[in-house]
Amino acid sequence: MEAMQSLSFRPSPLDPLRKNIPQFTNVRSLGTKRVPFIISASASTVSAPKREKDPKKRVVITGTGLVSVFGNDVDTYYDRLLAGESGISLIDRFDASKFPTRFGGQIHGFTSEGYIDGKNDRRLDDCLRYAIVAGKKALENADLGGDRLEKIDKERAGVLVGTGMGGLTVFSDGVQNLIEKGHRKITPFFIPYAITNMGSALLGIDLGFMGPNYSISTACATSNYCFYAAANHIRRGEADLMLAGGTEAAIIPIGLGGFVACRALSQRNDDPQTASRPWDKDRDGFVMGEGAGILVMESLEHAMKRGAPIIAEYLGGAVNCDAYHMTDPRADGLGVSSCILSSLEDAGVSPEEVNYINAHATSTIVGDLAEINAVKKVFKTTSGIKMNATKSMIGHCLGAAGGLEAIATIKAITTGWVHPSINQFNPEPSVEFDTVPNKKQQHEVNVAISNSFGFGGHNSVVAFSAFKP
């Protein structure tokens, strides 16, 4: 992002265009298999390895669960996205009147009834509450609710739910108690409920999942990093099933104030619902959101053995780093374009097979066009590709963004409809892609990618498609 530009950092020594290299080979690891991915600098075609055929290594999506500004039901969430509804409103959780930004994608009326017992519910940070509810709802969607969970081998089931900010409310309250009342008034839950791994840990404890269990925190790229790592646990034979995604609850005074200090947020207080406007010439920063998005990921072999409802297929993904700046993206797009190419290599698909992109598209002045520049390096023609921005309606949910956007991507695959990018009033002419402006479009998705990038230069891309036996 364009924030904090006064800080000085060493630029990358890499030649972003690599003009003098006619051909290069990038070799990545796919499980125990290594395959070349050869890209010609002058040609528009890509020779990609074939898609994974081994049912033990194919990863399918069998459940989705979320907590969002549009509620906790996946179908309702996507229906409201298709309708082009904005979930942005003035913040009323605390007095934001003295902040230069006074709005966000704040969740109202959230309840964890039926998923968390009352005593724990009162203690938990919202970041943890959102994770537990979304994770359990994903399992219900995967036909693993209640007693059905007993039919899987829990020693081979894991949890990988990340967060960018962690239990920020618990942390903020603890610091305030320390300053105002002394250390004896700090809750014993201060450390456990503030650290980023506790969402995965509490889900694992509650469900009895004894497989891989940890969190990843890569700012706004967190969820995609979790999907990528979870899929690799399955591909390597370390797990049959993984709950993976992200959670975030940072719309509190210190969270809002921190991003205000970064000069990253829109200040369109007079019209909050039009504030998040990716690719629009008049965009002035992102809008904070919150929630959780979690997928049930399984090996195809495991899913078929238990007769699971297979929703879509995870084809592959990639992660890397710009190695450039704390908050700004590389203007040349090298990190992002390399990440997209690596994700397609991992997925075993060529750029020509991709016809839908759920963009990171945060509505920041620099970030939106940097992503466009990177995408253009990979896809030689914009014809036939739909690219939309979920954040235009729900805001930027930080560590949970990729989870909620992956669910939107999967729903686009299963419904044949892509949601609009709203607030497209004065589009940047250099975008060139069909951004699905202001109104949903019918579109049969062949291969979809979902982009997520985070402070620190963290890039992540995941690819999905309809499941085909």
Supply the residues annotated as catalytic: 220, 360, 396
Q: Which two tokens stand for residue 28?
A: 């990545």
Q: Which two tokens stand for residue 195?
A: 């650290």
Question: How far is it, in rounded angstroms, from Cα 213 to Cα 228?
Answer: 14
Collapsed DSSP state (helix, strand, coil) of residue 465: strand
Please identify which residue in the block is written with the tokens 């991507």.
409
Q: Which residues pair with 294 in a beta bridge?
A: 65, 245
Question: How far is it, in rounded angstroms, from Cα 469 to Cα 53?
Answer: 9
Question: How far is it, in rounded angstroms, from Cα 387 to Cα 450?
Answer: 10
Name the amino acid, one letter, at 153.
D
Residues 6+ apart with CB under 8 A from 453: 220, 221, 329, 336, 360, 367, 371, 459, 460
Collapsed DSSP state (helix, strand, coil) of residue 282: coil
| Separate counts of helices (H) and strands (E) for the chain | 13, 17
Which candidate, 164, 168, 167, 278, places its Cα nearest to that of 225? 164
Residue 205 Cα distances to 148, 190, 197, angstroms: 17, 19, 12
Question: How far is it, in rounded angstroms, from Cα 352 to Cα 109?
Answer: 43
Collapsed DSSP state (helix, strand, coil) of residue 382: coil
Residue 278 Cα distances to 39, 306, 448, 457, angstroms: 31, 42, 19, 20
Distance between first and last Cα of the chain: 41
DSSP state of 336: H
* Whether the Cβ atoms of residue 326 and residue 7 lie closer than 8 Å to each other: yes
Question: How far is it, in rounded angstroms, from Cα 386 to Cα 392?
Answer: 15
Name the amino acid, one letter, at 179.
I
* Whether the Cβ atoms of residue 32 and residue 356 lie closer than 8 Å to each other: no
Which candidate, 384, 362, 374, 385, places its Cα nearest to that of 455? 362
Q: Which residues pair with 224 in a beta bridge?
A: none
* Whether the Cβ atoms of residue 275 and residue 88 lie closer than 8 Å to each other: yes
Residue 318 Cα distances to 37, 336, 357, angstroms: 14, 10, 15
